[in-house]
A = this chain, B = another copy of it.
């Protein structure tokens, strides 16, 4: 492991920098974010950033790595032993929860993909693709057993991802339409209920 030899100070400061960087990248994207902004947000002089990270791109990569590890741990509920209703309900709920607890992470991820995924393209084509392949088989299995209507599992994932992440990525638009300043817990709960019912019903899983 690489984490072994890192001092307490280094660990703490790297975490602080990555937290600040995620926030700034979320607001401005990779090119729009400036090292000066990140430094200010982390409450350290700009030069100090370069003591802990070689370059702006190195910070960006580290932020993305954190986000990807978050993303991976989300599909646990989808395995054959579960029934589809519980599994999909939990999955949608977990995805929505991510939009609540880590909106900046979602925005950085969205921005990266929107610009062609120059940094995480390989991850998408390898790890993510295999993960979806495996989970799709589980859903196909449920369908074969008659527990769900026949929907293409991959397209179902695309829809779930889009519909849940939109509450983080495009919250500006949603707030504007709803006429509110920010999405509160109650609205996010309502959105979760709405989406769960809509999609489960769409998959032919009775409520």
Q: How far is the CA of A7 from the CA of B199 in the complex (A)?
A: 52
Residues A173 and B27 in contact, CB atoms below 8 Å apart: no
The SS class assigned to the A binding surface is helix
Q: Which of B115, B151, B154 contacts A177 (CB 8 A)?
A: B154
Residues A176 and B125 in contact, CB atoms below 8 Å apart: yes
Residues A176 and B124 in contact, CB atoms below 8 Å apart: yes
Residues B170 and A110 in contact, CB atoms below 8 Å apart: yes
What bracket does the count of chain A residues touching chain B fall in?
A: 35 or more
Residues A152 and B194 in contact, CB atoms below 8 Å apart: yes
Query: Residues of B contacting A170 with CB < 8 Å?
Result: 110, 113-114, 161-162
19 contacts between A and B (CB under 8 A): A29-B32, A31-B32, A32-B32, A107-B114, A110-B110, A113-B173, A114-B169, A116-B172, A117-B176, A124-B177, A128-B173, A132-B177, A149-B201, A154-B177, A155-B191, A158-B163, A158-B191, A201-B204, A202-B202
